[in-house]
Amino acid sequence: MFDVKYIRKDFPILSREINGNPLVYFDNAATSQTPQQVIDVIVDYYSRYNANIHRGVHRLSQEATEAYENARATIQKHFNIAYPYEVIFTSGTTESINLIASGYSPSLKKGDELIISAMEHHSNIVPWQMLCEKTGAVLKVIPMTEQGTLEMNIYEDLLSERTKLVFVNHVSNALGTVNPIQEIIDKAHGFGAKVLLDGAQASPHIKADLQALDVDYYVTSAHKLCGPTGVGMLYGKSVLLNELPPYQGGGEMIASVTFEKTTYADLPHKFEAGTPNIAGGIAFGAALDYMNAIGFEKIAAYEAELLAYATNKLTKIEDLKIYGEAPQKTAVISFNVGRIHPYDIGSILDQMGIAVRTGHHCAQPIMDFYKIPGTIRASFSFYNTFEEIDLFEIGLRKAVKMLQ
């Protein structure tokens, strides 16, 4: 049994009212909400053992270090990563991607090729464009279909001996499409190319087994997984991470420093310069524990029911068009209604206490593909309810009637 009413009690924000209406939070693809159990972990850190890690012999530092490294081990176990030092704490998905882009800058040369997909978030486009401008490498794009899937036959044609890196999101943030990542990885490896998967949108819904996938790099953010903002993860195979130069210089990432020469620390500290978001890292582990206690299979099954229910409701609204109808999707519906601007609908829904995202969702090339300014995106999580979807449908119909 999936007791959503019981689960909702863990999320204090869900009892809030907006403009006298109960909050209906359907912007989970941007940021998930945080359960009290994770909030308590953050409060506990600052209340009882706030101290810097790895550097102090005193009790508070030792307790903070132990909690932080236990969180790293929790992340390792969750994603089935071979070694804890292959988990690099970062500020989030964006920094994780930029870390890898920076690391490859010295080794790429003119004529090398990188491949991304047409449905990437800007954070998985712009760093590679900057890298190409710096190195002379060429960026190639896997096109997408009207249905919101990748043209895999063209991907095969793009691959060659010149391909060095392939970057694809596991799940599209704008469309909810689950990409065929195993096929993407296997075909890239056939040409000796390395693969980075942007797992920010997949991680809340899919428990990725990184050893089974044999992916080279995987990145995600805690705030998509019921954790805090400002902390995330970069996974990389240790043999590859050891080949990359440090991303930043400073404390913690050194073995020794003289004015003549600096030597760098071993993984993971080589890429963790400075004082990290200690409370955030600890809470990241707590958030994964919380979601695993519920069970990712149960979460995925319930969210699939929410998606089917909402899709059925919305498709009955006249002139409503859904963008992204891939056979495999997470609980995301991007849509427009007639010629009404998505911002206008989103603003009226907000007055009713219904939070959706409007715009291009940091995926402007997708909007350009469909020749639209943006979409209304409703994204569901395991703490949402069928009753909230009913309220959403009623509110949407009211908004459309007001704007037509």
Catalytic site positions: 362
3-class SS string, the chain: CCCHHHHHCCCHHHHCEECCEECEECECCCCCCCCHHHHHHHHHHHHHCCCCCCCCCCHHHHHHHHHHHHHHHHHHHHCCCCCHHHEEEECCHHHHHHHHHHHHCCCCCCCCEEEEECCCCHHHCHHHHHHHHHHCCEEEEECECCCCCECHHHHHHHCCCCEEEEEEECECCCCCEECCHHHHHHHHHCCCCEEEEECCCCCCCCCCCHHHHCCCEEEEEHHHCCCCCCCEEEEECHHHHHHCCCCCCCCCCEEEECCCCEEECCCCHHHCCCCCCHHHHHHHHHHHHHHHHHCHHHHHHHHHHHHHHHHHHHCCCCCEEEECCCCCECCEEEEEECCCCHHHHHHHHHHCCEECEEECCCCHHHHHHHCCCCEEEEECCCCCCHHHHHHHHHHHHHHHHHHC
